[in-house]
Structure 1
Amino acid sequence: MIRRTLVLATLTAAAFGAQADTLDNIRAAKKIRVSIDLAVPPSGMTDANMKPTGSDYDVAVLLAKDLGVALEVVPTVGATRIPNLQTGKADIIISTLAWTPERAKVIDYSVPYAPQISLVGGVKGINVKSMADLAGKSVAVNRSTTQDVDLTNNAKGATVVRYDDDAGVITAVVTGQADLVGTSNALFQTMQQKAPNRNLEMKFILRTNDLGIGVRKDDAKLLAWVNDWVRANHKNGKLNEIFKKYHGTDIPADVVEKWLK
């Protein structure tokens, strides 16, 4: 029994050590595997040649370059971002990952690298100005996102219709399957552009999220490197350049100042 306990303890320590040395493993492999959702424009998407692009992708490219390794994109959807990290399929997550208390129990977050406005939007003419106004109405969301959590917990009497990815949500709204949606401001703008005839408008803001880079729990060495990298690239303006390129506006200076305190 004692021997078995010692063996288990040794294996646990070895597993912990391997996890804690993720940064060394990345450098040794000369490659970092980054979980990115490529169906969340303009943060993650593919171009006309089916090549990855978007603000999250550019952040990943810059991070890999500064680390001196190659970038391997691990395609994901909202619900599989954290499982990809936990199962070792990815080394980090850069994929519109908003901080929540629930997620912080199972992964660690870096200093935020970008903001994300979360909102409820829908067809003009539907009288919705608050959570209370959603009672008796259906709202489309991407499963396991902060919008899903916020609406499930606070929109009493509403029917939350869950899709497996943002592409499904966009299709539902654009084709008229859904008249109300909980999503990010960036994705909602995409819906407005794709379906101008639907007369979509923002109804109210759910929250403004801080987006962090996800790292496995207790992976302190990698997290410290990522935090230093995020701070340095806020100070030199490179993260703001990427954000403005895809989102059309600067990251507010007071928000960056708050993050860097």
Structure 2
Amino acid sequence: MKFKAFLLSGLVAGFGAAYDATPAHADELQDIKSKGVLVVGVKADYPPFGYLSPSGQNIGIEPDMAADIAKRLGVKVRYVNVVAANRIQFLQQGKIDLLIATMNDTPERAKIVDIIHPDYYASGYNLMVAKTVPLHSWSQVKGVPVCAIQGSFYNKEVAEKYGAELVAFTGVAEALTALHQGRCDAFLYDDTAIEGKLQDPNWSGYDMPLPSQDAQPWGMAIKQGEPAFEKFLSQTVSDWNKTGYVLQLETKYHIQHSKFAEDAHKAAK
């Protein structure tokens, strides 16, 4: 019995030593500083928020935001191109440290990643119209033929609230072709995507003259359980709001100042 007791005591002691040797949960913020690189997931196909330069470099509003965060941390920034289908998985799998990729802040996503507050941007819906079309308010949309995408959640509201005559297409390319051909007077879509399309010289004769509607907030995201990193990022966005940094980026990339960014700046001041 004494031998068994001694053996059991040794096993318990050994287990305890092994348990004590197990490293504590790593601090993501300190890890980033230690390795000297912040890895950020960004879009590469969504101008002007995230796209590639002719030489293949990541540029746009969100890559600039990532670079500013890295500068504040005193580290380099490395971009990883993501799409809607894989961006959260890349974050959960540790392929990226931070996600800044046109992602809506929703309760469902907040269950699986930590979304940084305050939100840094927002997107709504709007109309792209030819500059020759005298459209100055949403009340003028009544009876106007509008190209739209089948299944878009805002189609019903634009038809019922504003009385537009929607002509629905299965894809963006088809809708834009119809707009170019004059089969409709306007194109209904996400305002941020329209901003990108207006950067294309082929659409220089078009504009987005109306205020965007039903803005939905965008949030940066990190893995769950990183309070120090979350606090740092939250303070960074708050500082952006105070300084008007997002408004400066909108100006840099030649897009209209969004109501969301203007309101955030006014509230922060």
Return the TM-score normalized by structure 1: 0.67
Unpaired runs of 5+ in structure 1? 142-147, 163-168
Partner SS for 2:45: coil
**2-structure distance, mates of 1:114, 1:62:** 13
Q: Which residue of 2 aligns with 1:229?
A: 236
Q: Which residue of 1 aligns with 2:60?
A: 54
Return the offset for 1:57.
0.8
**2-structure distance, mates of 1:16, 1:181:** 54
Match status 1:109 vs 2:115: yes
**2-structure distance, mates of 1:123, 1:239:** 26
Partner SS for 1:79: coil
| Residues 174 and 159 of structure 1: CA distance in aligned 2, closer, same or farther (over 3 Å) | closer
Query: 14, 18, 25: which one pairs with 1:17?
Result: 25
| Residues 222 and 201 of structure 1: CA distance in aligned 2, closer, same or farther (over 3 Å) | closer
Deviations 1:207-231 (A, max 9, x none): 2122221111222111011111222
**2-structure distance, mates of 1:74, 1:202:** 34
Return the offset for 1:244.
2.5
**2-structure distance, mates of 1:66, 1:43:** 21
Whether the aligned pair in 2 keeps the contact of 1:33 and 1:73 (CA below 8 Å) is yes
| Residues 183 and 87 of structure 1: CA distance in aligned 2, closer, same or farther (over 3 Å) | farther
Q: Which residue of 1 aligns with 2:149?
A: 139
| Residues 226 and 79 of structure 1: CA distance in aligned 2, closer, same or farther (over 3 Å) | same
Whether the aligned pair in 2 keeps the contact of 1:55 and 1:243 (CA below 8 Å) is yes
Match status 1:216 vs 2:226: no
Return the offset for 1:40.
0.6
Letter in 1 for 2:107: P
Superposed CA RMSD in Å reads 4.3
Partner SS for 1:224: helix
**1-structure distance, mates of 2:246, 2:108:** 27
Match status 1:241 vs 2:248: yes
Q: Which residue of 1 aligns with 2:195?
A: 189
| Residues 173 and 202 of structure 1: CA distance in aligned 2, closer, same or farther (over 3 Å) | farther
Identity value in percent: 22
Deviations 1:52-71 (A, max 9, x none): 11111111111111111111
Q: Whose radius of gyration is greater, 1 or 2?
A: 2
| Residues 121 and 39 of structure 1: CA distance in aligned 2, closer, same or farther (over 3 Å) | same
Q: Which has the higher contact order (CA 8 A, sep 6+)?
A: 1
Unpaired runs of 5+ in structure 2? 1-10, 131-140, 159-166
Letter in 2 for 1:17: H
Whether the aligned pair in 2 keeps the contact of 1:122 and 1:201 (CA below 8 Å) is yes
- Aligned pairs, number: 228
**1-structure distance, mates of 2:108, 2:60:** 27
Q: Which residue of 2 aligns with 1:31?
A: 37
Query: 85, 88, 94: which one pairs with 1:88?
Result: 94
